[in-house]
Structure 1
Amino acid sequence: MNTLYKTFFLLAIIIGVMSCGGSKKAEQEALAQARRDSIALAKQNAILPIQKKYGAILGIPPKKVENVALFEFIDEWMNTPYLLGGNTKKGIDCSYFTQYIYHDVYGNLIERTAEKQFKADDTNKFKGLHNLKQGDLIFFNKQGSEHREITHVGFYLGNDRFVHSTSRRGNSGGNGVQISILSEQPWKRMFVAAGKKPKYTNNKTAQNK
């Protein structure tokens, strides 16, 4: 029985108790429980500030920002500068960033570089953008060719948006961790493929592949 139905059920009990001349104590207890259930239901339906923030950024209703842990992680890293080989808040590169997302949010330690993440046996690659889901990796190079080395990787969030650490300057004027639109240039031209990787597996051997 969910909270809403439970609340209605308790209110029905209250009416029954009152109509049958039940004790005042039973009536008060039923009313108190109904209030507690109403408060619990309100909390359950509450929109968190992080959901409002990233709902606006992604152009989706806040309720659809469901993976709160993911967006809290992203929020901690937003605007961190880009640094080739960097792996701290002082500077981070694209593949360290995606590696950290998979490790810290999903518990899966994926490969270190964009090229290795692309070529890994457990990366299920595809080109159809209609198949993109939150959590997919997106691979790029200057030529947009799968026959050239993959030089950049991002993490797909939904609604044509992805998060990544890039040396290119975004709308804010700075480089580093930012959210970009896949269908806009230069990302549309540089797109090679997307890839689905398993989550929640904690594959520690992947680090050295």
Structure 2
Amino acid sequence: MGKNKEPSVAVSYEPVTDVSEDNDNVEVEEIIITPLQIKYAEILEVAPEKITNVELYSFIDEWMGTPYLLGGESKTGIDCSSFAQRLFIGVYDWYIERTAQKQMDSEATHTWSDPEFLEEGDLVFFRAAGDRGATITHVGIYLGNDKFVNATSRVGKTGSSGVKISDLSETYWKKRFFAGGRRVNTKS
């Protein structure tokens, strides 16, 4: 099977109807659930129907497991800000700056400190543990349900570094979280 020729799973849902209606006239809406949606739904611990940005998850899937390399910019090795930059260009067709600090400092990035307001595609910025200043040392892209994708040198629970999905609720990331960031159009 080719890379883009994934088999799909058909799931049907019947809309709720009034019990007094004739059930012969019930329309069935067919929703196609792909293996990619199933895979990332399991990782994010959500229903497969919640995985709707197929372009985002296809991009992540292509890069998943790529080794971490400080200053790296390719599939032989990549760092966090280069991965974020490539993702934004590849998925959203939006150029973002090369370093995590510049990505956060950009006038096109609206930032806030409460992770409660994060949405899929937002940037998540981190600083070194114990750093009371605002020096940003790491960036990832938020996916939902406290999960974010990033290129990291941290081995963590998975036993490997590189491009992977991490969890904001883990103590390591929780202690280092600095801000969420959403790219906004600055040209009116």
With over 3 angstroms needed to count, the CA separation of the structure-2 counterparts of 1:104 and 1:146, relative to structure 1, is farther
5+ long unaligned stretches in structure 1: 5-10, 13-36, 204-209
| Separation (CA, whole Å) in 2 of partners of 1:193 and 1:108 | 20
1:122-150 superposed Cα distances (whole Å, 9 cap, x missing partner): 11010112111011101111136572421
Q: Among the aligned pairs, what percent are the same residue?
A: 49
| Separation (CA, whole Å) in 1 of partners of 2:61 and 2:130 | 29
Select which of 119, 128, 133 maps to 2:119. 133
Which residue does the alignment assign to 1:111?
97
| Separation (CA, whole Å) in 2 of partners of 1:146 and 1:121 | 23
Alignment check: 8 A CA contact 2:72 2:82 kept: yes
Which residue does the alignment assign to 1:155?
141
Structure with bigger helix share is: 1
Which residue does the alignment assign to 2:159?
173
What's the offset of the Cα at 1:171?
A: 2.7
Do residues 61 (structure 1) and 10 (structure 2) align? Answer: no
Between structure 1 and structure 2, the one with the greater Rg is: 1
Structure-1-length-normalised TM-score: 0.73
Which residue does the alignment assign to 1:164?
150
Which residue does the alignment assign to 1:187?
173
With over 3 angstroms needed to count, the CA separation of the structure-2 counterparts of 1:144 and 1:161, relative to structure 1, is farther
1:45-95 superposed Cα distances (whole Å, 9 cap, x missing partner): 121110000000000000000101100000000010000111111100000
Following TM superposition, where does structure 1 have runs of at least 4 consecutive aligned residues deviating by more than 4 angstroms? none
Which residue does the alignment assign to 1:25?
none
1:71-121 superposed Cα distances (whole Å, 9 cap, x missing partner): 000000001000011111110000000001110000000000001001111
Alignment check: 8 A CA contact 1:144 1:192 kept: no
Name which of structure 1's ranges 169-178 and 159-168 shifts more when overlaid on structure 2. Answer: 169-178
Which residue does the alignment assign to 1:22?
none
| Separation (CA, whole Å) in 1 of partners of 2:112 and 2:158 | 31
Alignment check: 8 A CA contact 2:134 2:178 kept: no
Structure with bigger strand share is: 2
Alignment check: 8 A CA contact 2:123 2:181 kept: yes
Do residues 89 (structure 1) and 75 (structure 2) align? Answer: yes
Structure-2-length-normalised TM-score: 0.81
Aligned-pair Cα RMSD in Å: 2.3
5+ long unaligned stretches in structure 2: 1-13, 15-23
| Separation (CA, whole Å) in 1 of partners of 2:124 and 2:166 | 12
| Separation (CA, whole Å) in 2 of partners of 1:152 and 1:89 | 19
